[in-house]
Structure 1
Amino acid sequence: MAIFIACLSLYGLASFTAAKRNKEIGIRKVLGASVSGVTTLLSRDFIRPVLVALIIASPIAWLVMNKWLEDFAYRIQIQWWLFVLAGLITIGIALITVSWQAIRAAVANPVKSLRDE
């Protein structure tokens, strides 16, 4: 449920950013930008905070999990690849959520966005 709510808020933020940068996207399209270029431009703004959050949260999670697991009789070691896998899944979910809105903005007709005002 928390992941779904986070994806909804990320989708809303991506929608707001795409609407705010509508003219910029239109100008880039007129000057020859590809759909993948515009999608990369919009997605890059959302991947950086996710990476920073992973860098901050991973050591904290490792420390808390180690402390919690010390109380059990049969203790297991936490492997590093679990954090890498969780990070890749998180980045994948963020990319899917943001790319939907970014592709929609990149495919839009640039004439409509530049006609306003």
Structure 2
Amino acid sequence: MDESIAKFYEAEGLSAKLVSTATGIAILISCLGLFGLAAYTPQTRTKEIGIRKVLGASLSGIVALLSKDFLRLVLLATIIAWPLACWGANKWLEGFAYQIDISPWLFMGSGLVTLFIALLTVSYQSMKAALANPVNSLRSE
């Protein structure tokens, strides 16, 4: 009996490994894209960052300026993904004999983790741009 039940859940175990691997690859690719975009944005705004630093902008103010646009986009993507994920999870759970309800805290937690990963990805480039010497950025062009 145990062996027959184990065979039923063998496919679920394989699909869980596949989904975990695909999720990891998707997160890695999205973080690389976000990192590249975060590296490009300060280069296009070097004069603005230099002028803000000369006029007395704080390090946290410049980092917040560069990070808020990215975080807004990640938040928008998370809000769009929540209903789709809820629908997909409910469809998947319909195939089981014992069904459970999905807690909204699960989606809020995943949204916070997503925002945290995006903030870590963008903050490195933002800090690098904020710590650069404003004289070099204003003199370069």
- The two structures have a TM-score, normalised by structure 2, of 0.81
- Alignment partners' CA distance in 2, 1:5 and 1:12: 11
Runs ≥4 residues deviating over 6 A? none
- Alignment partners' CA distance in 2, 1:82 and 1:43: 25
Quote the residue 2:88 is aligned against.
64
Q: What does residue range 1-117 of structure 1 map to in structure 2 within 5 Å? A: 1-117=25-141
- The two structures have a TM-score, normalised by structure 1, of 0.97
- Alignment partners' CA distance in 2, 1:56 and 1:35: 32
Identity %: 62
SS state at 1:73 partner: coil
Unaligned stretches of 5+ in structure 2? 1-24
State the Cα distance separating 1:110 from its structure 2 match.
0.2
- Alignment partners' CA distance in 2, 1:15 and 1:36: 18
- Alignment partners' CA distance in 2, 1:88 and 1:103: 21
- Alignment partners' CA distance in 2, 1:67 and 1:97: 33
State the Cα distance separating 1:28 from its structure 2 match.
0.2
State the Cα distance separating 1:98 from its structure 2 match.
0.4
User: Over alpha carbons, which structure has the higher Rg?
Assistant: 2
Unaligned stretches of 5+ in structure 1? none
What does the per-residue CA deviation read over 1:16-72, in whole Å, with 9 as the maximum and x for residues that have no partner?
Answer: 001100110000000000110000000001011111111111011111211220111
SS state at 2:97 partner: coil
Report which stretch shifted further, 73-82 or 84-93: 73-82
